[in-house]
Amino acid sequence: MTRPYFENSPLWIKLALLIGITLLGLIVIPALLSGVFYLFFDFSPNDLNSVNQIIEEVTQMSRNTGLSPDEAAKYGYDLLPEYITNYQNLEYAKWFLILSNQLSFLISGIVFLLILYKKPLQIISPAKANGKMYLLATALFFFVLPAVGLIGEWNRNIYIPWENLQNMLLDSEIKIGIYNSTFTDIHSVGELLLMIFFIGIVTAVAEELLFRAGLQNILLQTKMNPHVAIWLGAAIFSLIHFQFYGFFVRLILGVLLGYLYYWSKDIRTSIIAHALNNSLMLIVAYSMGNANEEIPAADNYFILIAFSAMAVAAIWQINRIKPKENI
């Protein structure tokens, strides 16, 4: 299935190709989008830099409050109207970041698969559509939410003994949290559907193509233990988000997505689960009327235990119906 000149290539060459294509995408796509935004909305790179600079300043003020990362991000987001005179620029900056990130990952993943494989569609989804597998994957990601929320609460409360490192991590977390607050500050059903499409579905497709069909696949094609490959791929997936206080949540979600792809041999399985997870966070943010993207922790331990048991049952059922031979 691999093209002849990659047939016996060592892992590092394939990784270098994947990293190179991704970095190129992260340069070229935002550059092209900058031109589009300037042409159609009169939103220039200088305007984007101005928004970024204001958010940097607000981030510093938010960190100095001594609040938790989540609370500091909310505090910083509430301060923005006092510092951004043209609030429309914040909207343009939000959409620029959403489109540039997702399109960069999406196009990079597609280009990598086209270059590496003779028949990339067979690598992505060689199996026939399996409705029962998709349903079980959906159930798994729904029932695992309370446990993931508990892990997230623990992750956000990790104490870093080195002050400089802690401040650097907090600054990154708060800044990303402020931007996330703009992404999830949704005011209408139409806007919610638009955000579900871009952040829920497009993000899921882009990240699954790049990290599961791309990265995880080339790790699995080595003599590496499949479990090591899945966990390593998930760790890289989590690291690339540059959020230490959400690292373990994304690690666990990445591992589950990795196993879903490995078990099902069908990238549609992990895309559906990933899209569900992203979309649920947007729906929760909209229904609660706040801008918090984090998975809420389960305060009721009966719900936590019951949902976790259902998640285990979903995994057991997935293992029962998975194809006999894995990727």
Which three-class secondary structure state does DSSP give residue 3? coil
Can you give the residue range of the structural domain that contains 232? 4-321
Task: For residue 71, tell me if it sits in a domain.
Answer: yes
Helix residue spans in the chain (DSSP H): 11-41, 45-63, 69-83, 87-116, 120-124, 131-143, 145-156, 163-183, 189-195, 203-207, 217-220, 226-239, 247-264, 267-288, 301-321
List, for residues 206-236, the tens digit of each pLDDT value. 999 999 999 999 999 888 899 999 999 999 9
Task: For residue 327, tell me if it sits in a domain.
Answer: no
Structural domain count of the chain: 1
Please tell me which of 186-195, 268-277, 285-294, 302-311 the model is most confident about, judged by mean pLDDT.
268-277
Going by pLDDT thresholds of 50, 70 and 90, the confidence category of residue 293 is very low
Please state the rounded mean pLDDT for residues 119-144.
86
Evaluate the CA torsion angle 305, 310, 313, 315 in order and state its sign: negative
Give the amino acid at 311. Answer: A
Task: For residue 241, tell me if it sits in a domain.
Answer: yes
Going by pLDDT thresholds of 50, 70 and 90, the confidence category of residue 327 is very low
Task: For residue 326, tell me if it sits in a domain.
Answer: no
> Angle at Cα 69 formed by Cα 65 and Cα 73, nearest 5°?
75
Q: Please choose, from the candidates 48, 139, 52, 72, the residue with its C-alpha nearest in 3D space to the C-alpha of residue 292.
A: 72
Distance in angstroms (rounded) separating the CA atoms of residues 279 and 196 = 5
pTM across the whole model: 0.88
